[in-house]
Amino acid sequence: MPDMLGKFAAAKAAEIADLKAREREGRLPPVWTGERPSFVSALENRAPLAVIAEYKRASPSKGVICLELSAADVAAQYATAGAAALSVLTEEQYFQGSLAYLDQARSAAPGMPLLRKDFLLDPVQVRATAATPASALLLIARMVDEDRLAEMLDQAGALGLAAVVEVFDEADLKKARAAGAGIIQVNNRDLDTLTVDLAVSRRLVLRKRESEHWISASGLDRGAQLKELASLGFDAALVGTSLMAGGRPGQALATLLSEAVDD
């Protein structure tokens, strides 16, 4: 595991231990019983492709991005601007996220599918996610072994959650498929240098199967990129930093979508 992912994993150890203790004591919150809008449906039939717009306050590569806007503010803006779904970063130490942001986003955009983006390493975190209004969660293939990934995928499905499995290369993709992933997210970021290169998406999408849904993530900030991704066969793009950085995420998303359909 790259050093950065190792740091992220270490940061989750206390959270996982706490969740397990709470579960043993019967204090884990019950499964959310409200509506979970379909995440898979949100990825389909969008022209040129679906945009999953992200609420992202900070990151290791960019530092502080935007702390002034609440999850509710941003979710409302994204919904108005035409997002297909919302990604909400809930990791606290490195991304200044919070699980509470999922509830805030749902309140502001109740019909929008929510993707919980965090570092999920144990099935108890899947069960904890099921207590939120998220429709989907992110699993990073490289952070767990194949058996654990399969276990978490099965658990997510049983709890009514879609699972997006993130890959960085061919080996990750092979593991994701062996574990049963149906939604593949290609991350264009090099974990050692933190640079981004759309060539990763261009290369890996050649292996896409008809039954799969594919998302490209990282380094996306221009309509021309979305057009290209659609032409390559991607169903969706996840965009966060470029939308949040200017402090007007809704306007930034509207501009991006306009550029993507402009001839």
Q: Residue 83: which CATH number?
A: 3.20.20.70
Q: What's at 248, amino acid-wise?
A: R
pLDDT, residue 47, reads: 84
Residue 144 domain-assigned (yes or no): yes
Tell me, yes or no, whether 99 lies in a domain: yes
Q: Quote the CA–CA distance of 68 and 170 in Å, as a whole number.
A: 38
What's the rounded Cα separation, in Å, for the pair 88 and 96? Answer: 11
Q: Is residue 32 part of a domain?
A: no
Range of the domain at 55: 3-25+37-261
The token pair that represents 183 in the structure block: 């939604």
Cα–Cα distance for residue pair 143/166, rounded to 1 Å: 10
Inside any domain, residue 80: yes
Q: What is the dihedral of CA 155, 158, 160, 164, to 10 degrees?
A: 40
CA 5 centroid distance within chain = 16
How confident is the model at residue 240, as a pLDDT?
87
Domain assignment present for 109: yes
pLDDT tens sequence for the chain (263 residues)? 668 888 899 999 999 999 999 999 999 999 999 999 999 999 998 889 999 999 999 888 788 888 899 999 999 999 999 999 999 999 999 999 999 999 999 999 999 999 999 999 999 999 999 999 999 999 999 999 999 999 999 999 999 999 999 999 999 999 999 999 999 999 999 887 888 999 999 999 999 999 999 999 999 999 999 999 999 999 999 998 899 998 899 999 999 999 998 64
Tell me the C-alpha distance between 133 and 98, whole Å.
14
Beta strands in the chain (DSSP E): 50-55, 58-59, 63-64, 85-89, 114-117, 136-140, 162-167, 183-187, 213-217, 236-239
Residue 198: how many CB atoms within 10 A of its CB? 17
The answer to whether position 31 is within a domain reads no
Bond before 48 cis per omega within 30 degrees? yes
In a domain, 30, yes or no: no
State residue 183's pLDDT score.
98
Q: How many domains does the chain have?
A: 1
- The predicted pLDDT at position 191 comes to 81
Q: Rounded to an integer, what is the distance from CA 163 to the centroid of its chain? A: 9
Sign of CA dihedral 241, 245, 249, 253: negative
Asked if residue 224 belongs to a domain, the reply is yes
**Quick check: helix, strand or coil at residue 213?**
strand
Count other C-beta atoms under 10 Å from residue 13's C-beta.
11
* Bridge partners (DSSP) listed for residue 86: 53, 114
Residue 22: enclosing H or E segment and its boundaries? helix 3-24
Residue 24, pLDDT score: 96
Go through 136-166 and write b for each residue having 16 or more CB atoms within 10 A of its CB, e for each that does not: bbbbbbbbbeeeebbbbbebbeebebbbbbb
